[in-house]
Structure 1
Amino acid sequence: MQTLTQVLLEQGWDKRVLDDTQFARLVGGTDARRYGLVNRALQAGELLRLKRGLYVMSPRFRQSLPHPFVVAQALLPASYVSFEAVLAHHGWIPEAVYATTSVTPGRKSIRHDVPGYGQFVFHPLALASGYFLSGVQRVELAGQHCLLASPLRALLDLACLRKWEWQGLPALLDGLRLDEDELCSVTHADIVQLQPVYKHQRARDYLDALAGALSSGREAA
């Protein structure tokens, strides 16, 4: 009888985030048989558990881990990656970010500490109904997909989370160390897309002030 590890390698799934549903499709049989195969793989160190029902293969069988953004999506499928994680990913801020930060449609912040990856943090925001995924794209990273905020959406999500009041572009550029050229690449269409997203007036005012500052800067140039 083939081990679960052999089946996964034959299917080329060694770089994927894996769950019980996928195992059921791969090996068939009863739940008890599947659980037995999974437990044997875990005990042999061939499979690593991210959380209950979610796994990756041991580094012995792959060259690299699945991307942290893909893992975040698997940990909480309804979420999307945002905040500092996205700003760093797109080169908008220079600092390395050691937690993968996401927005959840739930009501509570959630944290997961995952061996080999570090911390995953999910925050809820007050967002208008129907606009949860505005400015969010489905992207492919190392062969798997995840939902990723645009840099502007990530910045506005951060302002909403931290309840920032607008204090001018210099304060934003110096405080967050945002790349000025990247920020100035934001278009009017980008701004318009996000105007209906946030419920709280503070967040909407912040976006309007940012739009005005960028427009004034372009006129001055």
Structure 2
Amino acid sequence: METIAKQITGAGLGERVVSEAQLSRLLDGTPQRRYNLVNRALHRGDLVRLRRGRYLLASAVEQGKMHPFVLAQALLPGSYISMETALSFHGWIPESTPITLSVTPHRRRETLDIPKFGQFKYYPLALNKGWFLEQVDRESHAGQSFLIAQPLRALLDIFCLRKRDYPGLSSLTEGMRIDADELAAISHDDMEKMRPVYQHKRMDTFISAMQRELLP
């Protein structure tokens, strides 16, 4: 009888996060039999449980074949990479971020610690319905995709989460170490597109203050 690892690999899922639903389609028999097979694979070290209902082959973990951003999406489908993590990805801030930060469409915060991958944090924001993915792009790594905020969206998400007013250009360039040229490249249209995204009036005021300083 083939092992779970071979069945997962044979189905083309060897380097992907596998859900309970996918395992139920791959493994014949009753739910109890499937439960026993999964537990045996976990005890043998063939399979790693990332969180309830989400698994990854140990070989994919050991060989580093899963990009953290792809993993972040698989752990909480519907979320997108944002804030300092996205700014680092786009080269807007000089340092990499040890924690993968995402915005979740759900109502509560979540923090997941995944061995060999690090910490994943998911934050809900006060967003208007239908605008969740404004200025969010789909990127890919080794054939697997993830959603990530464009730089302006990532920056605004930070201040939405922290409930802070616009701090001024010097705070962005000196405090956050964002290159002034990157900020200067933001267009009026890009900022206008972000006005309907956030529920709180404070973010509309934030965008207006940012426009006055960047686009005199």
Provide TM-score, normalisation by structure 2: 0.91
| Structure 1 residue 114 corresponds to structure 2 residue 114 | yes
Segments of 4+ moved more than 4 angstroms: none
Say if 2:15 and 2:57, in contact at 8 Å, map to a contact too: yes
Structure 2 equivalent of residue 200 of structure 1: 200
Structure 2 portions without partners, runs of 5+:
none
Matched, 1:164 2:173: no
Identity %: 47
CA distance in 1 between counterparts of 2:20 and 2:154 reads 32
Partner-residue secondary structure (3-state), 1:112: strand
Alignment match, 1:16: 16
Task: Report the Cα distance in structure 2 between the residues aligned to 1:199 and 1:61, rounded to whole angstroms.
Answer: 39
* Partner in structure 2 of residue 155 of structure 1: 155
Instruction: Tell me which amino acid in the other structure corresponds to 1:193.
Output: K
The alpha-carbon deviation at position 197 of structure 1 amounts to: 0.7
Distance (Å, rounded) in 2 between the aligned partners of 1:150 and 1:180: 17
Query: What is the number of equivalent residue pairs in this alignment?
Result: 216
- Structure 2 residue 121 is matched with structure 1 residue 131: no
SS in 2 for 1:148: strand
Q: Distance in 2 between matches of 1:50 and 1:62?
A: 14
**Following TM superposition, by how much is the alpha carbon of 1:45 offset from its aligned partner in structure 2, in angstroms?**
0.6
CA contact (8 A) 1:92 1:182 kept: yes
In the alignment, the residues of structure 1 paired with residue 139 and residue 205 of structure 2 have an alpha-carbon distance, to the nearest angstrom, of: 30
CA contact (8 A) 1:15 1:62 kept: no
SS in 2 for 1:120: strand
1:159 CA displacement:
1.0
* Gap regions ≥5 residues in structure 1: 217-221
1:70 corresponds to = 70
Which residue does 1:219 correspond to in 2?
none
What SS does the corresponding residue of 2:157 show, helix, strand or coil?
Answer: helix
Whether the 8 Å CA contact 2:68–2:117 is kept in 1: the answer is yes
- Equivalent-residue separation in structure 2 for 1:9 and 1:61 (angstroms): 14
**Do residues 180 (structure 1) and 176 (structure 2) align?**
no
- Greater alpha carbon shift after TM alignment, 85-94 vs 141-150: 141-150
Three-state SS of the structure 2 residue aligned to 1:48 is strand
Counterparts of 1:67 and 1:177 in 2: how far apart (Å)?
26
Any conservation in 1 of the 2:14–2:57 contact (CA below 8 Å)?
Answer: yes
RMSD after superposition = 1.8
DSSP 3-state at the match of 2:119 = strand
For residue 8 of structure 2, give the secondary structure of its aligned residue in structure 1.
Answer: helix
